[in-house]
Amino acid sequence: MRSVGSEGEAVVLVHGMISSSYIYEGLLQKLPGKYRAVAMDLRGHGDSECADYDATRGLRDFAEDISDLMVAFAISQAHLVGHSLGGGVAMQFALLYPHQVLSLTLEATMSPFGQYCTKDKQGTPCWPDYAGSGCGFPNPAFLAAMRSRDMSLDNPFSQPNAWRRVVVKPPFTLPPDVEEKMCQESFKCCKSADFFPGDVQMSDNWPGYRPGVKGVLNAVSPAYCNLAAFVDIQPKPPVLWVRGDSDCIVNDKAPGDPGSLGAAGVIMNWPGEGVFPAQPMVKQIRNVLKGYEKLGGTYKEVVLPDCAHAPHIEKAAQFLAELVTFLANIA
């Protein structure tokens, strides 16, 4: 956990999966001094304790951890900033504790309908058992590299290469010391069987697996994660949605989506676009936010050019300007 300031309106920053509060180190130092900013380590990440995760609760455990943190810091209301998984956690927090949210900034946020196995902007599942989502999708080579803390550049699945090729858009690079620290923080992610990645269950539906009941990768399955009710919360805090135009993780045709891999012939026996397309993540996010707007909420979508999955790092000045302006205009 990291914090700056002790007075003023609170800003709580929530990182994504396989990350930690360190990802916000640069942003914390540049936020105006009138804000009290706290970047938390989600359970099982960073310096938080390793704990099992009941996937059937979706993101609620993470959201309740934010509540516990706010109690510990005597914060009654806060602006929430969530990156990737953290965006979904921030939305889940708003569902549970709407009166405690001053605003929401969703950065490269995950879809409100979880990850994979939904085929339209309404989040309709491809299969009744949500096959194709959950713990079965990570590449075994990536998991092996995580467990061995692989920092080599000749392994395409090492953590440095994940940063260079997936998280940011080449040719952007982090300073060597920052990249080293980011990778070491990623390695802190709890790798117990019941936290990351979780358990796998088999399915008769393509691609042959369905979500289990333990671990964070199962928790983001649409079987357990559906934040569509966000449109109905009262009161409705203002929402800022910032994303990169080159994000290959949150994308309508994400390369790692089973639907994309099936279409490319990487996973055999793909049932076709009509049955299992790539998840239209961006369309789903926009559809939920438009529904939120229709029911009286407000949101702004900002698309940063030549930017992938880490706008506050890749386009630090632009992201900071958007965030500060957004916060300053909240009554």
Residue found under tokens 């697996």: 209
pLDDT at 104: 98
> What was the pLDDT predicted at 49?
87
CATH number for the domain spanning 285: value is 3.40.50.1820
Please name which of 259, 239, 231, 205 lies closest in space to residue 322, comparing C-alpha atoms: 239
Q: What is the pLDDT of residue 114?
A: 97
Give the pLDDT band of residue 65 (cuts 50, 70, 90): very high
* Upstream peptide bond of 235 is cis (omega within 30 degrees of 0): yes
* Mean per-residue pLDDT, 267-276: 97
Read off the pLDDT band of 158 (50, 70, 90).
very high
Q: What is the pLDDT at residue 141? A: 86
pLDDT for residue 51 = 82
271/203 Cα distance (integer angstroms): 14
Class of residue 182 by CB neighbours under 10 A (exposed 0-12, middle 13-18, buried 19+): buried
How far apart are the two ends of the chain, measured CA to CA in Å?
A: 28
Share of the chain above pLDDT 90, in %: 90
Give me the pLDDT at residue 176, please: 94
Do 284 and 119 contact (CB within 8 A), yes or no? no
What is residue 203's predicted lDDT score, i.e. its pLDDT?
96
Instruction: Give the integer Cα–Cα distance in Å for 322 and 241.
Output: 10
pLDDT above 80 (res 325): yes
Residue 1's pLDDT is what?
Answer: 73
The pLDDT tens digits for 14-57 are: 999 999 999 999 999 999 999 999 999 999 999 998 888 999 99
Q: What is the mean pLDDT of the chain?
A: 95
Residue 2: the pLDDT is: 76
- pLDDT, tens digit (0-9, with 9 covering 90-100), for 130-152: 999 998 877 788 888 999 999 99
When pLDDT is averaged across residues 158-187 and rounded to a whole number, the result is: 94
Query: Residues 109, 14: contact at Cβ < 8 Å?
Result: no
Show the domain range for 300. 2-328
Count CB atoms within 10 A of the CB of residue 267. Answer: 18
Which pLDDT does position 300 carry in this prediction?
98
pLDDT digits 0-9 by tens, 87-140: 999 999 999 999 999 999 999 999 999 999 999 999 999 999 999 999 887 778
- Name the domain count of the chain: 1
3 band by pLDDT with thresholds 50, 70 and 90: confident
According to the model, what pLDDT value does residue 139 have? 77
Check residue 53 and give its pLDDT.
93
pLDDT at 5: 73
User: What is the sign, positive or negative, of the torsion defined by CA atoms of 148, 308, 175, 165?
Assistant: positive
Tokens (6 digits) for 18: 């396989």
Q: For residue 35, which of 45, 27, 43, 44 has the smallest C-alpha distance?
A: 27
- Strand partners of residue 11: 37, 79
